[in-house]
Amino acid sequence: MRNTVVDLRSDTVTRPTPAMREAIARAEVDDDTLGHDPTVARLEEAVAAILGKEAALFFPTGTMANETALALLAARGTEVIVESTSHFLDWEMGGPAVLSGVQLRAVAAPGGLLTADLVADAIRPPSNLQIQTSVVCLENTHNAAGGRILPLSDMKAIRAVADRHGITVHLDGARLWNAAAATGTAEAEFAAIAETVMVTLSKGLGCPIGSLLAADRDRIRVARGVRRLFGGAMRQVGILAAAGLYALEHHRARLVEDHTRARRLAGLAAGLPGVAVIPPETNIVMLDILRPDLDADAALARLRTHGVLLHGFTRKRIRAVAHLDIDDAAIDRAGLALAAVFG
């Protein structure tokens, strides 16, 4: 751990490692908007290959990449199916409505994991009186569900439903790397069920910024224009892409360490009174506060006095995320802080 404070708020708080900083400093760059930044081109080709898609496009954020995917797939005035606690619904500022003129249909799923039956029930029948369904969006891993993995078998069954109804699929794979690491299933197998796939570099992989959208070449060609519409030009982006290339080579394999540490933290918290632990499948630990005299804000404030930072997810739920900057000693320290607050 490289910080004196144990920061478990998110896997987005990581600092570039010295080796990653060196890769950034050595990056070969050009103006990507005017033609071709060689480093970002290599990153886009590498991510497309990993995901089994024809092409990929670099974005500054996962939200921007997600919103671009909807602009590609969903006709204005149509409806997009999402899980009721999805990133699209809770964390993207109403972007689907504002940017693409579509509405979201929130489907509550047990544990946050959509099923083929739930999706089939949510698809609108052909009608001149109702809005029509255009896209189903899946999230893997599912952040609000505690980093849970949507099983590949369920994703394939949802794909089959989408095919029967002539609608497309987008995969919000911000933490798809974690799903692959935990299951041993290649990212391309998950990605194969969707027309468009978003993956993030600035979460589990420890980059300072960056996400990519992958799809067929025609959609990525259009996506380049949508990206400009939504946010403008990307210039010497190779400086950021160099961090992504380094992370793909050096940080994917180590994700299982984060999963192990998340399970350790969950185990340390499991026996404490007044808190219920959602068993982690990947690197996210959700803790539900059961004490009536304590809410998330108060618990977080008490944890801060012990030098431990967690994230308030709801009024009675707090979240801890294991990541590149967290070692075993940090997990033990966080466990002691939780014991001091809840024990």
Residue 1, domain member (yes or no): no
Count the alpha carbons within 13 Å of 35 in the hemisphere toward its beta carbon: 2
User: Once rounded to an integer, what is the mean pLDDT over residues 272-296?
Assistant: 96
The answer to whether 174 and 200 are in contact (CB under 8 A) is yes
* Among 250, 272, 290, residue at a domain's last position: 250
Read off the CATH number of the domain in which 137 is found: 3.40.640.10
Asked if residue 222 and residue 87 are part of one domain, the reply reads: yes
CA distances to 45, 122, 162, 223 from 195, rounded to whole Å, are 17, 20, 11, 13
* Among 203, 231, 250, residue at a domain's last position: 250
- The Cα 145–Cα 106 span in angstroms is 15
Predicted confidence at residue 318, as pLDDT, reads: 98
Q: Between vectors from CA 13 to CA 228 and to CA 26, what angle results, nearest 5°?
A: 65
Residue 24, domain member (yes or no): no
What is the extent of the structural domain holding 278?
Answer: 6-13+254-342
User: Once rounded to an integer, what is the mean pLDDT over residues 123-142?
Assistant: 97
Asked if residue 261 and residue 245 are part of one domain, the reply reads: no
Six token digits for residue 150: 């949507």
Q: Any alpha helices (H) in the chain, and if so which ranges?
A: 18-25, 38-51, 62-73, 87-90, 95-100, 116-122, 152-165, 176-183, 187-191, 217-231, 238-250, 255-270, 296-305, 328-342
Residue 20, domain member (yes or no): no
Six token digits for residue 48: 């497309």
- The Cα 202–Cα 190 span in angstroms is 20
Task: Give how many domains the chain has, as a whole number.
Answer: 2
Asked if residue 178 and residue 88 are part of one domain, the reply reads: yes
Mean pLDDT for all residues in the chain: 96
206-229 tens-digit pLDDT:
999 999 999 999 999 999 999 999
* Among 189, 215, 250, residue at a domain's last position: 250
pTM of the entire predicted model: 0.96
Predicted confidence at residue 1, as pLDDT, reads: 44
